């Protein structure tokens, strides 16, 4: 009789604890973050890109990165993907006869891949030691190798597959674009944008770049317009050129809450390696779950209290019974 009573009490008590805990905090949904007001970023226009890869070279020079070889003769830096030694890369979309630039069928197109500097970065949410941080002012997602433990959660969390690790080093660290923030003090800005001959990569405030992107997709293909180069504000290196055929979508405007690197393309984005993402970031979902369960440690402490109460009674019972007739030999 006693055992059954104890058992039922235990069940009821823990059930009560879990129910209260489950009902109390779900109201703490964590909203997806937006871009900060003064966020800095890039606008990449695939229709302007000619695939010259000057941006790749400039990035490697600015960041002191080693070349990567993918051909038999180790003569040219020919990375096939971004890596811990290649922060920025131009990839080529090829289809059929590859006759027409920016055509999805029988055409070819270029797409840049580098850190998107998300408004709500998965890597920042995932990193347990704050090695990945988002600057509250500029919004740049920065990496601190001194804090990093090399767990590579950021590598698996990023939907764009950007943070990459140096597997060939016993003291490896993550490598990714940080918008050349180390060059700002010398009056420079992102090296890729500085060198781009056609203005395909443009640097500036994300709000300005988003406005520029929207201006471009509203233009009539074939008409002439001015395209800025380098930095969107000053100095003026703009030039006149015919408008290409844009998809009516600025990639990065809303994906996962928005990104600070925006992209325009003539070919469908999922065909050029840019994933289809919802407007709610996965960081928001993950943190909502964590905050609901562990916010303020309320639920764990409540549950601990109930468990402790039950365990104390049960352990005492056993000590008594153990003291009675156990030691037989």
Instruction: Closer to another protein by CB, 72 or 220: give it.
Output: 72
Q: How far is the CB of 207 from another protein (least distance, A)?
A: 26
Give the number of other CB atoms < 10 A from CB of residue 107.
18
Provide the 8-state DSSP code for 180: T
Q: How far is the CB of 306 from another protein (least distance, A)?
A: 9
Instruction: Closer to another protein by CB, 25 or 172: give it.
Output: 172
- CA-based angle 94:98:102, to the nearest 5? 75
Instruction: Closer to another protein by CB, 185 or 325: give it.
Output: 325
Q: How far is the CB of 136 from another protein (least distance, A)?
A: 15
Tell me the two tokens of residue 245. Answer: 């055929």
For residue 47, the number of C-alpha atoms closer than 13 Å in the C-beta half-sphere is 20
Instruction: Closer to another protein by CB, 73 or 220: give it.
Output: 73
Give the number of other CB atoms < 10 A from CB of residue 98.
14
Instruction: Closer to another protein by CB, 162 or 209: give it.
Output: 162
| CA nearest neighbour of 196 among 15, 59, 98 | 59
Instruction: Closer to another protein by CB, 38 or 81: give it.
Output: 81
Query: Residue 217, SS3?
Result: helix
For residue 233, the number of C-alpha atoms closer than 13 Å in the C-beta half-sphere is 8
Q: How far is the CB of 167 from another protein (least distance, A)?
A: 3
Residue 169 vs residues 81, 82, 85, 165: alpha-carbon distances, Å? 19, 17, 12, 9
Do you find a cis peptide bond into 26, omega within 30 degrees of 0? no
């Amino acid at each position: 009789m006693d055992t059954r009573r104890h058992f039922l009490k235990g069940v009821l008590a823990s059930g009560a604890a879990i129910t209260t805990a489950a009902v109390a905090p779900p109201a703490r949904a964590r909203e997806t973050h937006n871009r900060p007001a003064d966020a800095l970023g890039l606008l990449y226009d695939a229709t302007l890109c000619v695939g010259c890869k000057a941006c790749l070279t400039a990035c490697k020079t600015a960041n002191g990165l080693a070349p990567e070889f993918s051909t038999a003769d180790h003569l040219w830096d020919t990375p096939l993907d971004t890596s811990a030694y290649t922060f920025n890369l131009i990839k080529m979309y090829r289809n059929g006869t590859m006759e027409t630039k920016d055509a999805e069928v029988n055409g070819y197109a270029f797409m840049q891949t580098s850190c998107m500097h998300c408004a709500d970065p998965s890597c920042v949410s995932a990193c347990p030691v704050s090695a990945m941080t988002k600057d509250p002012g500029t919004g740049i997602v920065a990496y601190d190798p001194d804090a990093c433990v090399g767990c590579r959660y950021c590598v698996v969390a990023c939907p764009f597959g950007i943070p990459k690790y140096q597997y060939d080093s016993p003291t490896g660290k993550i490598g990714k674009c940080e918008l050349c923030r180390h060059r700002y003090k010398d009056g420079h800005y992102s090296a890729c944008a500085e060198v781009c001959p056609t203005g395909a990569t443009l640097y500036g405030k994300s709000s300005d770049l988003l406005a520029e992107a929207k201006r471009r997709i509203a233009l009539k293909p074939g008409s002439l317009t001015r395209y800025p180069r380098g930095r969107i504000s000053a100095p003026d290196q703009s030039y006149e050129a015919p408008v290409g055929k844009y998809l009516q979508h600025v990639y990065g405007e809303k994906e996962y809450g928005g990104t600070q690197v925006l992209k325009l393309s003539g070919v469908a984005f999922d065909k050029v390696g840019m994933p289809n993402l919802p407007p709610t970031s996965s960081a928001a979902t993950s943190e909502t779950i964590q905050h609901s369960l562990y916010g303020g440690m309320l639920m764990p402490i409540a549950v601990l209290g109930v468990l402790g109460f039950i365990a104390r009674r049960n352990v005492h019972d056993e000590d008594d019974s153990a003291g009675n007739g156990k030691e037989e030999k």
